[in-house]
Amino acid sequence: MTTQSQARIVSWSTAGEEVCASAARISTTRGDALTLFEKARDNPGNQDLIGKVLRSGHRSVIEHAVFSIALQNVSVFVEQYFIESRLASFTVKSRRYVDFSSLGYYIPPALAGKALTEYRRYMDGLFAAYQRLLDADVPKEDARFLLPYAFCSNFYCTLNARELVRLIRSIRCGRGRNIPELRDIADQLADQLAKLFPALADQLDGAPEDPSPAADPLPLFREKPVWVTEADAGAAELLAAPANPEGLLERAYRAAHPQGDAPFSAEALLTSSRPRELEQLSYTFAVSDISLAGITHLVRHRMQSVIVPPIQSVDHSRFILPDTIRNNPAGREIYQAALTEANCAGQALCGNPALAPYGCYFATAGNMMDVMTTLNARELELMIRLRSCTRAQWEIRHIAVGLLRLLREQYPPLFDRFGPSCYLTGRCPEGHMSCGRQEEMKTIFGGKLS
């Protein structure tokens, strides 16, 4: 098993400091962009200039430096924290296809004695049940709902210097400061960043964002587990939508085509290579009873404003029950017995002062939360095209179709044309991995979604 999380900056933009210094000079200095960049090469004044600009509040200049980070054997809790950074790119190890039974879990280095024994007993029990589910022919994508949020994740993250500084500070001075693993990762990244980009060293510390924060959120436990079936999971509610979507689209279309006299058509926007007009339509949804695993699928769509409650506040007693497990007697017995035991044990562990700081790790990927998100129609087109496909994981597919159903009720002329790629474009992009059901999908999405 793993005790040490590692975060290493494995790649960074060349001449990052020189580019940022050039950007700091270009708005107030005579000379063209290339001339200013040449003057910035090996210029001893670069660091002082960047620091001065940052202190004045103009932080966009450091967005020109980009870093790629390899995160090794971190807990999936850390992955979730990072992936909520909207201005970053991520590639993670898929829990749908990879067997996680031997990949280990994070062990807080400070744990020892009885507390360590109890922590490992909890984790080992869930990992053993995960393996038994695989042996009972439960698909990996559904067996993973048993995995505790301490299980090891490996992923890559790429972001600019401004977002990296914000991320480090959000851990050291904000909502991540009470999580030892996050603090350790922030320290690792801060040490590396200070060496690679010394001008940022004094940006990495400071007073807490909230000097008197509210108490840490508390986990919820019930006497008995609550099982949420596939049919009841991921219920969507449309909270806000444009009152006159067609009028907004036509106004945006006329602004983009001031010399055009062709009649406006919402359908034509979907064949455009640059349908910026769709970005003028924003929709806000509440999604209830989405699993922690499902949340990772949702938040990977970068162009949205999403609110996810702290994992520390999760209802540890509310679990998703996939059909592949519900309809598999052996699998259902393993799954429900393991999570019933976890519900009882987790409550005792979170009540132990030595283990309470690590309560986030006792959540499982199958625990449920409610989230809220706002997306524009262009991002909704992409999300629904990818996530309503039969190749998508079933939970996020169920949510995507639920969103589409609501959107079609709100504005049929546009959203009746949304659906998976085979319906939207007439062809499947999956190649040899295609489901082969293109005609069926066209019929399903061409009618009233049930």
CA–CA gap between residue 441 and residue 263 (Å, rounded): 31
86 is catalytic: no
Considering the candidates 25, 385, 387, 397, report the single residue annotated as catalytic: 387
Contacts of 401 (CB under 8 A, 6+ apart): 388, 449
Instruction: With H, G, I as helix, E, B as strand and everything else as coil, classify residue 134.
Output: helix
Residue of 26, 40, 13, 48 whose CA lies nearest to 200: 48
What is the token pair recorded at 308? 């996810």
State the DSSP code for 263: P
Say whether 356 sits in a helix, a strand or coil: helix
Tokens, residue 239? 């909270």
CB 413 within 8 A of CB 266: yes
d(CA 395, CA 397): 5
> What is the C-alpha separation between 238 and 98, in angstroms, rounded?
35
Pairing of strands 226-229, 315-321: parallel
How many whole angstroms separate alpha carbon 205 and alpha carbon 50? 17
Tokens encoding 10: 């494995």
Residues in CB range of 64: below 8 A, 6 or more apart: 13, 16, 19, 20, 23, 160, 161
Q: What are phi and psi of 22, to 5 degrees?
A: -60, -40
Q: Is the dihedral of CA 122, 127, 132, 138 positive or negative?
A: positive
Work out the burial of residue 42: count CB atoms within 10 Å of its CB; fewer than 13 is exposed, 13-18 middle, 19 or more buried. exposed
User: Residue type for 75, please?
Assistant: S
Q: Are strands 315-321 and 367-376 parallel, antiparallel or unpaired?
A: antiparallel
3-state secondary structure of 432: helix
Cα 238 versus chain centre, distance: 21
**CA 236, 240, 243, 246 torsion: positive or negative?**
negative
What's the CA dihedral at 397, 401, 402, 408 to 10 degrees? 160
**Residues taking part in catalysis:** 387
